[in-house]
A and B are shown apart, each in its own frame.
Chain A
């Protein structure tokens, strides 16, 4: 089996990273001069009443 072309491409150069979760990992990548964007992540809404309201709004 040969490597998927996308995986081979990943190993060619340092990755460009989207960080979801602990901000320290984005800060460390920045310190290592790796391009990174921190996502503003929140847990998904689990309350069915609020979900229904949001669905109505959208």
Chain B
């Protein structure tokens, strides 16, 4: 039995990254099962209520207030943690990463400071992102909205306003973009080249860009449009604008389009636009069956296939046949995928489905099966970036330690034959994601399941692709050349 306690600090603001770091510190205190420090916005309060952390004291908190909530073994431990949180909040300048730098308070002042500014990158809490985006558009700035939880009606209104003004609006919920070599949000260091990407998926964009870069080619621009752009309610406004832009761009010779399956009418409209281009397209609608495409377009079932079709050759550096394959013990039958990238989790589900294997996921692809409650029979592919795993915590791409309890559990599960992992490198990602995994693997029983990983990254990323590979392989983790290849290798192990 645990107790949930909370306090509210009125009129207090700190950015969410700093609050997540504090949440982790408080969550690690003795007797604390869970801790969340969040501003009292409606969406945060909803998440906290769902987690049973929102006490009566916090129900009236607003976006200008900070809610400190803990679940503790007993009231004593809870009160001590709340007091510690308050003390940490009172430390001077805890939220300032570069306290000395002048920071303007308004767009007008920022524009004065940075002459010729042409793009606003917005990652404030979702409730406020639309207002900031509107202000930016009205200053004639292109916009990327990293924030999620922006209401659908606001998304549509913003996209229409951007189109009216002749501006590019990427997002909301746009995790990654590369414009003329500039990494926006979570993005990898990839060389400039002739392949353009339009993606309604952040890690989908990153995986395809990295596979192209590691195969020696490059990216002209990678434009994110946000996960809902091809839904019926939005109608692909952002996708059509991005296709127009890359179609007219002289640096772009071929275009890759990545999304979950669009609404039927939106797919028709987008494919009709694709057909009017003179450039070759690769269409990757993840989880959609075969589709009728225009003559200049080819269909890719996976992100790896999309990269290979755009490249015109195989992207694999290590063929599956060359990888070590040890048959698992008889009781070990199942694959457990622990993903930091949502689209990488979807791609693994597609690989299993294509092989005729059933899998369960908390983020099932269309026609896929939801994760059952209870014991762990069956292949389970988990998107650890989903809301239920990230309450008050940094995303697994930013903080790889959030994956460790799941990894430790899977490595100790006698029915699991293979654990699949993705590591996402690049700008905005953790400095050394392999380190935490290596530590967990070193502490695992000797007869642990096989581990197959893939790395979404490049040699030029600050973490270093080769350095991360070396750390993982040193503890016996098998490295696959792509996320799709990792899932294929996992299947080969369970079926051997």
Question: A residues engaging B (CB < 8 A)?
Answer: 1-25, 27-29, 31-32, 34-47
Report whether B168 and A10 are in contact in the complex, using a CB–CB cutoff of 8 Å.
yes
**Which residue of B has the minimal Cβ distance to A6?**
B166
Q: Which residues of A contact B16 (CB under 8 A)?
A: 22
Shortest Cβ gap from B419 to chain A (Å): 29
Q: Please, which residue of chain A has its CB at the minimum distance from the CB of B95?
A: A23
User: Given the complex of chains A and B, what is the CA–CA distance between A8 and B125 in angstroms?
Assistant: 30
The B89-121 residues at the A interface (CB cut-off 8 A) are 97-98, 101, 103-107, 110-111, 113-121
Q: Which residues of A contact B146 (CB under 8 A)?
A: 21-22, 25
In this assembly, does B455 line the interface, its C-beta being within 8 Å of a C-beta of chain A? no
Contacts of A2 in B (CB 8 A): 244, 248
Task: Give the residue name and chain of the B residue nearest to A15 (CB).
Answer: B119
Min distance, Cβ B437 to any Cβ of chain A, angstroms? 22
Inter-chain contact B114/A23, CB cutoff 8 Å: no
A32 to chain B, nearest CB (A): 6
Interface residues of B in 299-343 (CB under 8 A from A): none
A residues near B140, Cβ cutoff 8 Å: 6
Question: What are 11 A-B contacts defined by CB distance under 8 Å?
Answer: A2-B248, A3-B247, A8-B249, A11-B245, A16-B116, A16-B118, A23-B17, A23-B98, A28-B428, A39-B110, A41-B124
Does B452 make an interface contact (CB < 8 A)? no
C-alpha gap A39/B454 in the complex (Å): 36
Which of the residues B62, B98, B105, B142 comes within 8 Å of A15, measured between beta carbons? Answer: B142
Tally of chain B residues near chain A (CB < 8 A): 65
Q: A28 — which chain B residues lie within 8 A by C-beta?
A: 183, 427-428
Q: Does B478 contact A (CB under 8 A)?
A: no
State whether the Cβ of B123 lies closer than 8 Å to any Cβ in chain A: yes
Task: Answer whether A25 and B107 are a contact pair too, CB < 8 Å, given A2-B244, A6-B166, A12-B180.
Answer: no
Contacts of B191 on A, CB cut-off 8 Å? none
Question: B120's closest neighbor in chain A, by CB?
Answer: A18
A36 to B183, CA, bound (A): 12
On whether the beta carbons of A45 and B64 are closer than 8 Å, the reply is yes
C-alpha gap A14/B428 in the complex (Å): 18
B118 lies within 8 A of A10 (CB): yes
Cβ–Cβ contact B180 & A13, under 8 A: yes
Q: Out of B121, B141, B180, which one reaches A14, CB within 8 Å?
A: B180
When the two chains form their complex, are residues B248 and A8 in contact, meaning their CB atoms are under 8 A apart? Answer: yes
A18 touching B119, Cβ below 8 Å:
yes
* A11 in contact with B428 given A20-B121, A42-B13 (CB within 8 Å): no
Binds A, one of B45-53, B128-136, B353-361: B128-136
- Tell me the complex Cα distance, A45–B110, Å: 21
B221 at the interface (CB under 8 A from A): yes
What CA separation (Å) do A56 and B121 show in the bound complex?
33
With known contacts A7-B142, A23-B98, A40–B119 Cβ distance under 8 A: no
A10 touches B428 (CB 8 A): no
Nearest 8 pairs between A and B by C-beta? A4-B166, A21-B123, A40-B103, A15-B119, A28-B427, A3-B248, A14-B182, A37-B114
| B251 neighbours in A (Cβ, 8 Å) | 11
Given known pairs A22-B17, A38-B103, the reply for A16 and B117 (CB within 8 Å) is yes
Q: How far is the CB of A58 from chain B (nearest CB, A)?
A: 14
Are A14 and B181 neighbours in the complex by a CB distance under 8 Å? yes
Docked-complex contact B142 and A6, CB < 8 angstroms: yes
Write out, one digit per residue, whether chain B residues 76-96 have a CB within 8 A of any chain A CB (1) or not (0). Answer: 000000000000000000000
